Amino acid sequence: MCGIIGYAGPRNAQEVLLDGLRRLEYRGYDSAGVAIVGSGLQVFKDKGEISKLYTSMPEIRGNLGVGHTRWATCGKPSKQNAHPFVDCTNQTAVVHNGIIENYQALRKQLTDEGHKFTSETDTEVLVHLLEKHYRGNLRAALISALKEVKGTYAVVALRTDSNEIVAARKENPLVVGLGVGENILASDVTAMLNYTQKALYVMDGETVSLTADKVTIYDRNNDVVVREPSTISWTIEDAQKGGFEHYMLKEIYEQPTAIHNSLLGSLDEIMSEGSLVDQDFGAVKLVACGTSYHASMVGKYIIEALAKIPVTVELASEYRYSPGTGENPLTVMVTQSGETADTLAAAREAKRRGCHTLAVTNVVGSTIAREVDSVFYTKAGPEIGVAATKTYSTQLMAMYLLGLRLGYLRKAMGRDEIRSLSSELRSMPQYVRGVLDRASEVDDSTDMLVEARDVFFLGRNINYPTMLEGALKLKEISYIHAEGYAAGELKHGPLALLDASTPVVAACIKDHTYEKMLSNISETAARDSPILAIGEEGDEELLAVADKLVTIPHVAPILSPVPLTVVVQLIAYYAAKKRGCPIDKPRNLAKSVTVD
């Protein structure tokens, strides 16, 4: 979603802001802009790529500035609607993430008072409110302005007659980077890694005053907040491509390490106090969106099998509006970004219902991490490609850990059983490496998909959600329409759509569904659909019915989603690459979806 960067210090602000904006690109955006205090307030913004801004901007001297990448919500993507916005006197500039819900009423009122608007956005009311309330202290003006506002925000402002940047936060991330003789504000730490590893997370209701030498955070009562800075463990290299053609491919290849890191420590502690959850919950509800929802669906099979308790999975956007059943299961919010608006709203609803909430997220200091009762961090490292890959496989690890932990607490699993599955889990990085070593086979197999208009992904049982994820990955990065289906459902309608022009990707591993899957594959072959099967090494029977076979190593069926996931990610990647798609920045998809 939108990204923010602000800088005060001795460097050329233009360079720091443009560099920060480039690092925020992965969040998804349609326009970008900067405002720099140089000789007066200089604002440059445009629709489209940040590289356009790089080439079109003259050199500006100035040491104070703010920048923004916008993902349109109120008002179409355009130069006028891009941030920053300035007031009528051209002295104040504002950038904003979030939504001002009452902006139409405010806009009317401000227009009646003589303010001139230049955009269709909700954000522009903020700069006019600042102008209205300014009496010589910008932070005080911001506090007064925000009293008139309904909605959510990370808002950052500056003026030409001061060396200060001010900011406020409500339900949108904001973090301060502490440098030596310079300070930065951003919507996420990726934008500041070049300059500092020391961060201060801003909390809801707080305001910030930031200059080159000093940062002060104030609470809702306007009292100064004393907070220890956190150390950002991500390095700049972590956030760069490292020789791969795309971030997505780099991140697919990082999965052995990401899986290892996510299990590290947590697996050893699974039978110790203080691990994940300490109570024997009688039921679990997993709540998530998109790819995280698919990880949760896999989680249902895992937790039910290991802990022998009922698990329900709900889309966050549905859960938040449902009436509730009066039961209080352990409610797990699964979200790589920790900022998804629907998942946050669902977490608040779960708390309101009195449920214990646990977040599974990849981003330390994310909003969800601060709102729930307990957190499990997936430790996948920064994921820059918009399509989730390594955060998904590490979410799967969280599901295994949770299943094992609950299984232990409920005595549904004995110590030996736990140790045996733990040791197989420890081998997962090696199995994933095995799949990656054969990436060229997957690459060849995707030729049959590249020209297709529709593709079906079929699986059964624990591998059904993995195929839903395969279909989602293919859709979002290659723009080929794909549907994931539980193979047993084919005969209830969709068989009618299968013919020689509709390829089928089918997962068929040697578990208790093997024979049924083989029959389903034969059914599709009978309709002339080209078949790309994913199965185990040496499976001659499967090879006989498939046009192409990609193999995964044999693992315990409960662990099969892990290698299978890597194959479907690679299928989507190679198909999208052959179609020349912008893989790391697919259209209409954002890394953190902060609107609902």
Interface ranges with ligand F6R (CB under 6 A): 289-292, 335-337, 340, 343, 387-388, 476, 592-593
Shortest Å, Cβ 380 to ligand F6R: 11
Are 333 and 343 spatial neighbours (Cβ–Cβ below 8 Å)? yes
Shortest Å, Cβ 377 to ligand F6R: 13
Nearer to ligand F6R, 167 or 341 (CB): 341
Write the CB contacts of 348 (distance below 8 Å, at least 6 apart in sequence).
371
Tokens of 255: 């999965």
Nearer to ligand F6R, 386 or 418 (CB): 386
Residue 569 exposed, middle or buried by CB count within 10 Å (0-12, 13-18, 19+): buried
Nearer to ligand F6R, 14 or 343 (CB): 343
Nearer to ligand F6R, 307 or 567 (CB): 567
The residues assigned a catalytic role are 2, 591
**Beta strands in 245-337, from DSSP E residues, in sequence order:** 284-288, 311-315, 330-334
Identify the bridge partners of residue 8 per DSSP, sorted by sequence position: 64, 183
- Alpha carbons 161 and 74: distance in angstroms, whole number: 30
Count Cβ neighbours within 10 Å for each residue of 162-175 and write b for 16 or more, e otherwise.
bebbbbbbbbbbbb
Tokens of 436: 């990656």
Tokens of 12: 């050329």
| Alpha carbon separation from 224 to 15, 213, 216, 495 (Å, rounded) | 31, 17, 7, 65
Nearest C-alpha neighbor of 468 from the set 486, 450, 454: 486
Nearer to ligand F6R, 86 or 593 (CB): 593
Tell me the CB-side half-sphere exposure of residue 493, using CA atoms within 13 A.
Answer: 3
Backbone angles phi, psi at 199, to 5 degrees: -130, 145
Nearer to ligand F6R, 12 or 337 (CB): 337
Shortest Å, Cβ 586 to ligand F6R: 8
CA-based torsion, 309, 321, 595, 8: positive or negative = negative
Of all residues in this chain, which one has the CB nearest to ligand F6R in the complex? 290
